[in-house]
Amino acid sequence: MSSLRLLLATAAAAALASCQSVAPNLASMTPQPSPVAAAPIAPVLATADAVDIHSYARPLEARVTHVSLDLAVDFETRRLSGTAALDIVRRPDAREIVLDDRGLEIQSIVDGSGAPLQYSVGTSDPQLGSPLAIALRPDTRRIVIRYASASDAGALQWLTPQQTAGKRLPYLFSQGQAIENRSWIPTQDSPGVRQSWEARITVPTGLVAVMSAPSAGPGRSNERDPGHVTYSFRMPHSVAPYMIAIAVGDVRFQSLGPRSGVWTEPSTIAAAARELEDTEKMIAAAEALYGPYLWGRYDLLVLPPSFPFGGMENPTLTFLTPTFIAGDKSLVSLVAHELAHSWSGNLATNATWADFWLNEGMTTYATYRIVESLYGPKLAAQQYANGFDAMMTAIDDAGGMKAPDSRLHIDLKGRHPDDGLTDVAYEKGAAFLRTIEHVAGRERFDAWLKGWFGWHRFEPVTSAIFLADIRQNLVRGDAALEQKLMLDAWVYEPGLPSNLVRPDPAAFANVDAAVSRFASNGTIPSQLWASWNTDERLRFVNRLPRKITKQRLGALDRALSLSETGNNEVLFAWLSLAVANRYGAAVPALERFLTTQGRRKFVAPLIKALAKDSAWGRPIASRVYRVARPLYHPITARGLDELKL
Ligand code: BES
Ligand code: ZN
C-alpha cells in the first residue's frame, strides 16, 4: 500500500468477511451466479486532488464501507421505501458522519442496537442536494435509516404500462452516475468512497427485479403477502456508489454464453440477443487487453427507449438503450465500451469527477482496441477517425485550443459533473492513450495497461496517480521517452500536444472524396452509400457542409432514404443537419424520433437547436416537447425544462 492512501479499512474488514457467499441459483431461466472472492475494504485517498467537491461526505473522518438495502417498490406512489443499514468506519474522535441526501423522506435513524441517533438535514443545493449529518456515539459502527425516496427522485424513472413495449405492467429503472443515487440511497455518494452492498427488493408479484450485483436466485414470495415477491442481491466487491442500479419490470433472461446473457422485455428479447451475439467474444478480447474479468457474470439489460444514455456500465449488468439495435450489429461498439468499463471505471475509478477522463478516455481507447480485435484494424481506424472529429468539435464547443475545458483534468468548481461529460474526456482521453501506445510501442504499453488494473483494482484513482504509475512502470527513468510522451501537457494543459497521433487519412478516403463532390456540385453517392458501413455513412453525413439548400437536402434524402433509416446514429446525424437547414420534409421523422426514445445525446441537441431558431424551430420544439416530456427520464428532461417550451 502506498503512503498516499489512508486505510480506514482494517477495522471493519472482519465484519464484512462474514457475508461473502453466494446462494445457489434455483431458476433455470436466470443466470447462474459464479463464485466471487471476498473483498477487502477499499482505501480512501487522502490527497487534495482526491477531495470530491460533489459530495458532502468527509470520508477521512467517518465513512461508509457497506450498504444493506431492504426496500419495497411502490408503483402507485412512485416510491422506494424501507431501510438502509450502513456499516461505517470512523476515527475514534469523529462526532458525526455526513451522507448525501437528495429529497429523501427520512422517518428514523437508529444505531445497530436500535437506539435513536440525532440527525439533521442541511440546506439543499440545487445541484448537490443536502448534507445528512448523523451524530455518532463513541461505539457507533452501524446506522439504520428508515426512509422513502421522493416521487420525483432524480435517479429513478417510473414508466406506466403504456410506456413499456408490453403495455401490461409498469417499469422502474435507475441511473446513478454521476450524482443521482443520493435521491434513493442515503449514503456517501462519492466515487472515491467505495462500498460493498446488498439489497432485498420487494416488488408486486409478476414483476422481476434485477440489480448490478450477483443475484441470490429467483424472487421469494412471502407467505403472509402473496401479492409480493422479494429478490436478493449481493455485491461482495467494493464499488463506487453510483454503480448501484436497479430495474423492475416484465423482463426475461436469455443466455448469450457461459458467463453472459441479456435481460429485456419479452417482445425485444430475440432482436436484442441477436444484436448481442458477439458478447462472449468481446469479453475474451477485453480480457486479452486488460487482464481477467473479475466480476463473475457479464449480463446486459436492454431498457425501454426512455433510457437516458446509450449505455451505463453497472457492474455485472450493463444497462443499454434499445436504440443500439440496428439489426446488423453496426452499433455494438457501445457494448464493447460498457464492457471495457468493467476495468476502466469499475475496477480503477475516478476518485472525483474532475478526472472523469480516466473512466471514459481509457474506456474509449479500449473500445477501439476491442473493435480492432473483433472486427479488424480498418473499422477500428475508422472509429478512431470519427472519434477524432468528435474531439475537435468538443474542443471548439469548449472554447477552442486555449479553453480550460479542453483539458483532461478539469475544474468543476460550482458546476455539475455533467459539465465534464464531453468528447474531451472521451476522445482526447483516447487520443492520449493512443499517443502513449504509439510512442512507447504497443507491447510495452499493453504490459503497462494490464499492470495498471492489477495494481489499482477496486480502487479510486486520480490523474496524479495515473501519471506517477506511468512514470514508475512504463517510463522507468528513460529520459528520452519521458520527453517524447509530453505527459503533463496532455493531462493538465488545454488543447492538443504536438505528439498527438492523428487518424489515418486513408481510413475514409472514398467517403471524403464523396463529400467533396457533393459540396462542389451536389453529386449524390448513391451506389457508394449502399456499400458503406455505418461509420462511413456517419462520416459522410457529419462531414457535409453545415449549410445546404433545401433542394439538395431533398435530393439527398430521397436518394439515400435518410429520414427512413433504422440506424439511430445515422438518423441523428441526418436530423441534426436537417434542423440546421430548416428542412421541413424531415420534420415528421424528427417528431417520431423525439417522441419514441429519450436518449439525452440524441434528444437534447435536437431540441436545443430547434428552440434556438425562434421563427421556424421553436414552435416545432414546443409541440414535440409537450408530447415527449412524459417519456423522458429526469436526467434528459432536466436540461430541457429550462427552455420553457
Ligand atoms: N458511463 C457512461 C454514461 C454516463 C457518464 C452517465 C456520465 C452519466 C454520467 C457510459 O459508459 C457512456 O459513456 N455512454 C455513452 C456511450 C459510449 C459508447 C460513448 C452514451 O451513453 O452515449
Ligand atoms: Zn463510458
User: Which of 460, 492, 524 represents a domain boundary (last residue)?
Assistant: 492
Q: What is the pLDDT of residues 199-244, one digit of tens each?
A: 999 999 999 999 999 998 788 888 889 999 999 999 999 999 999 9
Final residue of a domain: which of 458, 492, 526?
492
Q: Which pLDDT value is given to residue 606?
A: 98
CA distances from 460 to 44, 84, 192, 560 (A): 7, 24, 5, 48
Q: How far apart are CA 184 and CA 166, in angstroms?
A: 27
On whether both 362 and 460 belong to a single domain, the answer is yes
Whole-angstrom distance, CA of residue 72 vs CA of residue 172: 12
State if residue 598 touches ligand 1 by the CB under 6 angstroms criterion: no
Of the pLDDT bands very low, low, confident and very high (cuts 50, 70, 90), residue 28 is very low
535 pLDDT more than 50: yes
Residue among 209, 450, 229, 230 at smallest CA distance from 348: 450
Give the model confidence (pLDDT) of 162-199 as tens digits. 999 999 999 999 999 999 999 999 999 999 999 999 99
275 lines ligand 1 (CB under 6 A): no
Atom 18 of ligand 1: nearest residue by CA position: 334
CATH for 449? 1.10.390.10
pLDDT of 218 reads 81
* Position 251, amino acid: V
pLDDT in tens, 277-324: 999 999 999 999 999 999 999 999 999 999 999 999 999 999 999 999
Inside any domain, residue 638? yes
Helix (H, G, I), strand (E, B) or coil at 376: coil
Final residue belonging to a domain, choices 492, 521, 549: 492
pLDDT of residue 39: 63
Could you give the CA distance from residue 137 to residue 145 in angstroms, rounded to a whole number? 16
Residue 477, classed as helix, strand or coil, is coil
Which pLDDT score is estimated for 222? 83
**Do 589 and 488 belong to one domain?**
no
C-alpha cell at 21: 457467499
Domain identity same for 575 and 633 = yes
Give the number of whichever ligand sits closest to the CA of residue 331: 1
Cis peptide before 509 (omega within 30 of 0): no
351 and 488 belong to one structural domain: yes
Question: Mean pLDDT throughout 336-340?
Answer: 99
> Average pLDDT in the 339-354 region?
98
* Active site amino acids: 338, 426
Average pLDDT of the residues in 488-502: 98
Residues 561 and 420 in one domain: no
CB of 177 sitting under 6 A from ligand 1: yes
Residues 559 and 482 in one domain: no
Q: Which amino acids are annotated as binding site for a peptide, given as ranges?
A: 175-177, 308-313, 599-601
Residue 220 lies in a domain: no
Encode 255-307 in three state secondary structure.
EEECCEEEEECHHHHHHHHHHCCCHHHHHHHHHHHHCCCCCCCEEEEECCCCC
What CATH number has the domain bearing residue 611?
A: 1.25.40.320
Q: Take residue 349 and report the three cell numbers written for it.
A: 475509478
- For residue 37, how far is its CA from the centre of ligand 2 (angstroms)? 26
In the chain, the number of structural domains is 2
**In which domain, by residue range, is 347 found?**
343-492
Percent of the chain with pLDDT over 90: 92
**% the chain with pLDDT above 70:** 94
Is 485 within a domain?
yes
* Least confident stretch, 40-49, 282-291, 362-371: 40-49
Q: What is the pLDDT of residue 40?
A: 77
Region of poorest pLDDT, from 18-27, 94-103, 398-407, 462-471: 18-27
Quote the ligand 2 centre to 421 CA distance (angstroms): 10
In the prediction, which pLDDT does 17 show? Answer: 28
User: What tens digit of pLDDT does each residue of 49-97 get?
Assistant: 999 999 999 999 999 999 999 999 999 999 999 999 999 999 999 999 9
Atom number in ligand 1 closest to CA 337: 18
Structure confidence at residue 27 (pLDDT): 31
- For 436, the enclosing helix (H) or strand (E) is helix 429-440
- Nearest residue by C-alpha to atom 3 in ligand 1: 312
Give pLDDT tens digits for 383-437.
Answer: 999 999 999 999 999 999 999 999 999 999 999 999 999 999 999 999 999 999 9
Q: Is any atom of ligand 1 closer than 6 Å to the C-beta of 278? A: no
Taking residues 132-153, report their average pLDDT: 98
- In-domain check, residue 488: yes
H-helix segments, 291-427: 333-340, 356-375, 377-398, 423
Side-by-side strand order, sheet with 220-222? 105-111, 142-148, 79-90, 62-74, 195-204, 225-239, 220-222
Pocket test for ligand 1, best of 127, 309, 638 (most atoms within 8 A of CB): 309
Same domain as 471, residue 367: yes
Q: 66 CB contacts (<8 Å, ≥6 apart)? A: 12, 15, 16, 86, 87, 195, 196, 197, 198
Q: Is residue 23 scored above 90 in pLDDT?
A: no
308 CA: nearest ligand 1 atom = 21
Quick check: is 569 in a domain?
yes
- Nearest-CA residue for ligand 1 atom 10 is 312
Pair (352, 488) in one structural domain: yes
Please answer whether residues 463 and 370 qualify as being in contact, where contact means their C-beta atoms are separated by less than 8 angstroms.
no
Do 592 and 486 reside in the same domain of the chain? no
* Ligand 1 touching residue 421 (CB < 6 A): yes
Which secondary-structure segment (H or E) carries 11? helix 10-17
**Hey, what's the cell of 507?**
481510413
Measure the CA–CA gap between 233 and 241, rounded to whole angstroms.
Answer: 15
C-beta neighbour count of 289 within 10 angstroms: 19
Same domain, 480 and 609: no
- Are the C-beta atoms of residues 402 and 495 closer than 8 Å to each other? yes
User: Ligand 1 pocket: which of 312, 599, 603 to mutate (most atoms <8 Å of CB)?
Assistant: 312
Binding site for Zn(2+): what residues are annotated?
337, 341, 360
Q: Is 313 in the pocket of ligand 1 (CB under 6 A)?
A: yes
390 assigned to some structural domain = yes
